[in-house]
Structure 1
Amino acid sequence: MQKIAISIGDLNGVGLQIALEAHEKIKKICKPIYCINKDLLKEGAKLLDLDIPKDFELEKVKGKFIIKPGTVTKEAGAYSFDSFTTAIKLASKKKVDAIVTLPINKESWNKADVHYKGHTEVLRDYFGKDAIMMLGCPKLFVALYTEHIALRKVAKKIDEDKLLNFLLDFYKNVKQSNIAVLGLNPHASDNGVLGDEEIHIIKAIKKANKQLGENIFKGPLVPDTAFSPMNRKNYNYYVCMYHDQGLAPLKALYFEESINVSLNIPIIRTSVDHGTAFDIAYKKNKVSLKSYINAVKEAINLSK
């Protein structure tokens, strides 16, 4: 049975509730190790009015602060970062087979002077690798060429050589024979009428297919029809040029079941594909466990 390190996420959000409520299901398929200390676990469980399972195994993460449900705080931000780096170290030292991350809050990280926008950026820096963010479920996966950057900066990032490397790395990790690549502009620029970024995309696709010796990548697809029912019959792996281009359709279709997978790094990392849900944290609301359980199952699958 694989060992999975669970990064606990922002303790002011729903992560701890998810971990506690899903434990009975999770322990049947893996051995979870939760990156949190006893004091904060007890404090959070008391606020949630939930019992701590006797077999809830911990990897101690130092730190002590008052949990403030639904609130952005630098203390919670710093702790969620430390929980994540603890999980990374366990995986790097082969003490666990994979890591699964519960949601962090980017503003909390910023308040804590954590100079990363999210988990993937940390992994990219930690391992010195071009980590790829892929999100989805078996019905639909989207890979993001650019991630947490302002929309106005995306067009400048469409570089033929960088996109070529991205496509080749993505193929190496997923080994799919039919992958859609989206254009950036409306109508995929209508042959240059609405922009010239598609020229770089077309060249990168052609070079990637030539190097692979097979017509793997198709496109650039027109963004507003790329996820139509007809196209989704042909593709379930998409390369998207920016964050919302991929995540808006994915979350509209498969919000509760989709997950986040980090590709092209030397450890296995999966994650829930949702945020900290501060609006319902510690309010005894029912929270969905689907994304978390799917993330754990995929981590187990990838580590076989």
Structure 2
Amino acid sequence: MKPNIAISIGDLNGIGLQIALQSHEKIKKFCNPIYCINKKLLAQGSKLLNIDIPNDFNIHKTKGEFEIKPGQVSKKSGKFSYDSFIDAIKLTNEHTTDAVVTLPINKESWNKANIEFKGHTEVLRRYFGENAIMMLGCKKLFVGLFTEHIALKKVAKRINEKSLTTFLCDFYKNVKQDNIQVLGLNPHASDNGVLGNEEVEIFKAIKNANKILKKDIFKGPIVPDTAFSKANRKNCKYFVCMYHDQGLAPLKALYFDESINVSLNLPIIRTSVDHGTAFDIAYKNVKVNNKSYINAIKEAISLVNNR
């Protein structure tokens, strides 16, 4: 049987609805998508896009009504994208659907709507009371983020032996990979303390995690500027990064179109596209690349089948 997938529609002022409508015929071959939107907003978006609504485009009615304003930051569209996500979580947590796949939200719109979270992962962390882990990538490369949407100046203060040890153990339990490299924070991984002392905490956490797991899983701290070299990626496909751009900059430079976001360490399965709302091209009859979305759907199905 094909799994049921709850689709959080994302910010309707962006490209999410176009991706959902244009990809429907393809994804319905391997899952039963249930879109968290309502008939009025779906009809409005379909008209603006000049794309017909498929007859089997099944929806779960997410409450809300407003005027779609292509490419604009909007309090109302931000609130609706959040509500769509919560509905998708509930459907999956109640076992009506088997997984959640999210289309892109706009963080500024969430902020305008007085939503306290910076993104999907933070919502999941609070909703389930679990230490959700953000991992992004594709079959060629995955990066796990120790810290996510925080100011760069706060990263060093977050790195400590205890919390990083817990993160590493949780990361391994979810990905089950026997070779994971952990990046240092400072240039040259601090050159043995010359450029900083955070690597001491990272080294201790690696040692602790390997001892707990009784395997030599984690390597490092690895020098950040050489970690993603072609030669090193032949030997390792999973990396733990200390902050957002340390992992995302090389990932998107290498595999921007095909990468996805996977939330680990949760009681439900959630995957997502690894791109934004693309306000600059929304509703402009521009061809939109849906590879990330298709990959997110396929990964969600794979995770469902492996549970």
Same fold (TM over 0.5): yes
- 1:204 has 2:205 as partner: yes
Q: Tell me the equivalent position of 2:158.
A: 157
Q: Deviations over 1:228-252 (max 9, x none)?
A: 0111011100000000000000000
Helix, strand or coil for the counterpart of 1:260? strand
Q: Tell me the equivalent position of 2:288.
A: 287
- 1:213 has 2:230 as partner: no
| Matches for 1:156-195 after TM superposition, within 5 Å | 156-195=157-196
Q: Deviations over 1:45-92 (max 9, x none)?
A: 000000000000000001100000000000000000000000000001
Helix, strand or coil for the counterpart of 2:257? coil
Helix, strand or coil for the counterpart of 1:303? helix
Q: Report the CA distance between 1:255 and its aligned residue.
A: 0.2
- How far apart in 2 are the matches of 1:91 and 1:2? 11
Q: Tell me the equivalent position of 2:271.
A: 270
Q: Tell me the equivalent position of 1:139.
A: 140
Aligned length: 304
Q: Tell me the equivalent position of 1:105.
A: 106
| Matches for 1:238-277 after TM superposition, within 5 Å | 238-277=239-278
- How far apart in 2 are the matches of 1:66 and 1:229? 47
- How far apart in 2 are the matches of 1:250 and 1:151? 18
Q: Tell me the equivalent position of 1:50.
A: 51
- How far apart in 2 are the matches of 1:82 and 1:213? 43
Q: Deviations over 1:11-41 (max 9, x none)?
A: 0000000000000000000000000000000
Q: Deviations over 1:115-143 (max 9, x none)?
A: 00000000000000000000000100000
Amino acid paired to 1:180: Q
- How far apart in 2 are the matches of 1:42 and 1:26? 21
TM-score under structure 1 length normalisation: 1.00
Which consecutive segments of 4 or more residues in structure 1 shift more than 6 A?
A: none
- How far apart in 2 are the matches of 1:17 and 1:11? 9
Helix, strand or coil for the counterpart of 1:225? helix
Q: Report the CA distance between 1:211 and its aligned residue.
A: 1.0
- How far apart in 2 are the matches of 1:92 and 1:165? 25
- How far apart in 2 are the matches of 1:265 and 1:212? 20
- How far apart in 2 are the matches of 1:70 and 1:243? 25
- How far apart in 1 are the matches of 2:197 and 2:232? 24
Amino acid paired to 2:229: S
| Matches for 1:74-153 after TM superposition, within 5 Å | 74-153=75-154
Amino acid paired to 1:17: Q
Amino acid paired to 2:14: G
- Structure 1: runs of 5+ lacking an equivalent: none
Q: Report the CA distance between 1:300 and its aligned residue.
A: 0.4
Helix, strand or coil for the counterpart of 2:201? helix
Amino acid paired to 1:200: E
- How far apart in 1 are the matches of 2:233 and 2:158? 27
Q: Report the CA distance between 1:167 and its aligned residue.
A: 0.1
- How far apart in 2 are the matches of 1:52 and 1:97? 24
Amino acid paired to 1:57: N
- How far apart in 2 are the matches of 1:301 and 1:213? 28
Amino acid paired to 1:254: Y
- How far apart in 1 are the matches of 2:40 and 2:213? 53
The Cα RMSD (Å) is 0.3
- How far apart in 2 are the matches of 1:121 and 1:173? 18
